[in-house]
Structure 1
Amino acid sequence: MFFASDNAGPAHPKVMEALVKANAGYAMGYGAEPIMDEVRASIREIFEAPDAAVYLVINGTSANSILLGTMSQPWQTIFCTDCAHIHEDECNAPEFYTGAKLTLVPTVDGKMTTDGLRAKILAEQNRGVHGPQRGPLSLTQVTEKGTIYALDEIRALTSVAREYGLKTHLDGARFANALVALDCSPAEMTWKAGVDTVSFGGTKNGAMGVEACVIFDPDLAWEFELRRKRGGHLLSKHRYLSAQMQAYLEDGLWLDMARAANARCAQLAAGLAAHNVARMLYQPQANIIFFEMPRAEHKRMLDAGAVYYVISGDPQVGDPDEPLIGRLVTDWSASEDAVNGFLSHLRG
């Protein structure tokens, strides 16, 4: 009954096997290993982008921050949601790597709207040299509330950004979960919808620790390489990143794992909806559920062995009837038995 985070799940055995295989003998470092050529070709094929620049880093924070650094200047502001991961969970790493500030766009169900984005864009670059200049847009897909931008929503937001000459970055830490939920192609969810760069996540979806930075404008490639090196994220033994990504992509493993995680989330959501003790705050569309129930019920579930985050108060101390918000996240390895076990402990 472990639903705290998809970061806490195991790496897929095929990923671990690939690491062991890559560990044999010698290989050139810094991305010059032959496996990286295969990975780059695979990602270009998956995204239908033969000219895309593809680089690997070890985590999502570095992927997002270095990409945004490549896309912005220190005197600019980056437009993101008020619940974006780059705002809430990266310890100002985007600001550190870019020198820019973040402008927060209000959300509805975790997503920004075109009206909200336009209002924030119009509020900037009006004070000449005294104020921040407009910089890139950053979207999170899946959002931090477990919701998903539809393709037409992405197209509408990137269209607003383009009106003002701004590029768009996609934080795709849970890219695969969104993709299988939308039943579309990677190209349709990115460059065909106006996205310029993507943090293509693997770590939350069964890799040990690897993310791909996909840049559709090859003119940005060299600057990214310099920023990655300067920022300390060019691994010397790069083959261990390439091996993970190769296994992740092979035979559609990345999609299979995302489908498994989403299916367990749907099972959890259906079970929660059948119990009057819990109320879902957003319609779960991928592998994350936010729900509310009384403190006493959270305490009872945690005491029974369920593992998840209660994020709006102490589940052990306080009014037993006070509603607290909990978050459930499923990963590729979550089992039907684990979900059924969780649901069996719910009252009502």
Structure 2
Amino acid sequence: MDFSSDTSASAHPAVLEALAKANTGTQSSYGADDVTERVRALLLDTLETDDFEFWMCASGTASNALALSVMCSPTGSILCHREAHIERDERGAPEFFTGGAKLHLLDGPSAQIDETELREALDAIDRSFVHETPAETLSLTNLTESGTAYPVDTVTHYAALAKAAGLTVHLDGARLANALISTGSSVADMTWRAGVDVLTLGLTKTGAIGCELIVLFGDMRAKYPELLARAKRSGHMPPKMRFLAAQAEAMLTDNLWLSLAAQANARAREFANAICTVPGVRLAHSVDGNEVFAVLPEGLAEHLQKAGGVFYPWIDGSHRFVCSWATTEQEIDALRSALAG
């Protein structure tokens, strides 16, 4: 019963098969290979536009930090939620990669930015005031770090507010597939149609070994040469790019990434239904994807751990349980048995 993280899961067999297929013959280096070109073709369908450029990284931290480095200057700031991954889990990588940009932290329930907080931060921007660090970028996370999903309407609304104030908009989509499944949205509707300028599209948590895509939409395509320079300078330009591309090709073909996210979301709902049968258990946040945050009565966490459960206490006093594409019905049954024991 390993519910520690979707990054603890194995890679999907299709990914391993794609890697083996790519591991034949020779290919040009640094993204000039046939596999990367096939990924571009798949993205045309996935994104429903040809107005983009993309780059691939092996980790979400690298993709977020590189993306933000071409969006925000060293003397600007990035608006994000206080619990956003770029604040809580990336050891200052966005600040480091941007050369000094500040993260301006906003609050709101369930790791979603409160609209009043956002409006106040935008209204307070005064670029003529030398003592201020004016906001230049808004970063949203979907799913959030509390497992909740911003609906398309909210992303669109927040993006419009940000753009009216002269900001660019970044979407951290490490678990984008899970958010798309729960909201019934398309990638296009959740990103460029909603006003998102740069997307970090996560495939690692969905079933890849390590593959994240930085996607620049519209006018941000002009930043592509700078993105490449920063990727090279920071050591995120792997010569054998085809092996990252092979993972992306496997995940995007026939929308496998969405199918796997649907499986993970379904297991999470089953998990939530099971654990909520225990008196005293309550959900800290809505289950909008593949994560369950449950407040447990005294002794239950220890009981589940003794039964073989693996999970983490969370910063809000709840415990986080994460399902992945590889979470089985047998594991959910084992949870039910442990709860009944």
TM-score (norm 1): 0.94
Q: C-alpha offsets along residues 220-260 of structure 1, whole Å, 9 cap, x if unaligned?
A: 21111111111210101111001110011112211110000
Q: Which residue of 2 aligns with 1:327?
A: 320
| CA-CA distance at 1:131 after TM superposition | 1.7
Contact 1:114 1:160 in 2 (8 A): no
Please give the alpha-carbon distance, in whole angstroms, between the structure 2 residues aligned to 1:291 and 1:122: 36
Please give the alpha-carbon distance, in whole angstroms, between the structure 2 residues aligned to 1:41 and 1:13: 22
Q: Which residue of 2 aligns with 1:90?
A: 90
| CA-CA distance at 1:293 after TM superposition | 1.2
Alignment pair present for 1:341 and 2:306: no
Please give the alpha-carbon distance, in whole angstroms, between the structure 2 residues aligned to 1:277 and 1:24: 56
| CA-CA distance at 1:311 after TM superposition | 3.3
| CA-CA distance at 1:347 after TM superposition | 5.2
- Which structure 1 residue ranges, 5 or more long, are not aligned? 314-323
| CA-CA distance at 1:333 after TM superposition | 0.6
Q: Which residue of 1 aligns with 2:170?
A: 169
- Identity value in percent: 38
Question: After the TM superposition, which parts of structure 1 deviate over 6 Å for at least 4 consecutive aligned residues?
Answer: none
| CA-CA distance at 1:137 after TM superposition | 0.3
Q: C-alpha offsets along residues 237-291 of structure 1, whole Å, 9 cap, x if unaligned?
A: 1110011100111122111100000000011111122221421101111011111
Contact 2:46 2:252 in 1 (8 A): no
Q: Mapping of 1:196-235 within 5 angstroms?
A: 196-217=197-218, 218-235=221-238
Contact 1:49 1:216 in 2 (8 A): no
TM-score (norm 2): 0.96
| CA-CA distance at 1:127 after TM superposition | 6.3
Please give the alpha-carbon distance, in whole angstroms, between the structure 2 residues aligned to 1:64 and 1:140: 11
Please give the alpha-carbon distance, in whole angstroms, between the structure 1 residues aligned to 2:103 and 2:210: 26
Partner residue of 1:282 out of 259, 281, 285: 285
Please give the alpha-carbon distance, in whole angstroms, between the structure 1 residues aligned to 2:24 and 2:127: 58
Alignment pair present for 1:48 and 2:48: yes
Please give the alpha-carbon distance, in whole angstroms, between the structure 1 residues aligned to 2:234 and 2:72: 15
Per mean C-alpha deviation after superposition, the further-off stretch among 338-347 and 234-243 is 338-347
Please give the alpha-carbon distance, in whole angstroms, between the structure 2 residues aligned to 1:312 and 1:278: 17
- Which structure 2 residue ranges, 5 or more long, are not aligned? none
| CA-CA distance at 1:55 after TM superposition | 1.0
Q: Mapping of 1:25-36 within 5 angstroms?
A: 25-36=25-36
**Number of matched pairs:** 338
Please give the alpha-carbon distance, in whole angstroms, between the structure 2 residues aligned to 1:334 and 1:194: 34
| CA-CA distance at 1:125 after TM superposition | 2.9
Alignment pair present for 1:13 and 2:13: yes
Q: CA RMSD in A?
A: 1.5
Q: Which residue of 2 aligns with 1:320?
A: none
Please give the alpha-carbon distance, in whole angstroms, between the structure 1 residues aligned to 2:86 and 2:152: 22
| Letter in structure 2 aligned against 1:23 | N
Alignment pair present for 1:37 and 2:6: no
Partner residue of 1:250 out of 247, 253, 267: 253
| CA-CA distance at 1:32 after TM superposition | 0.6
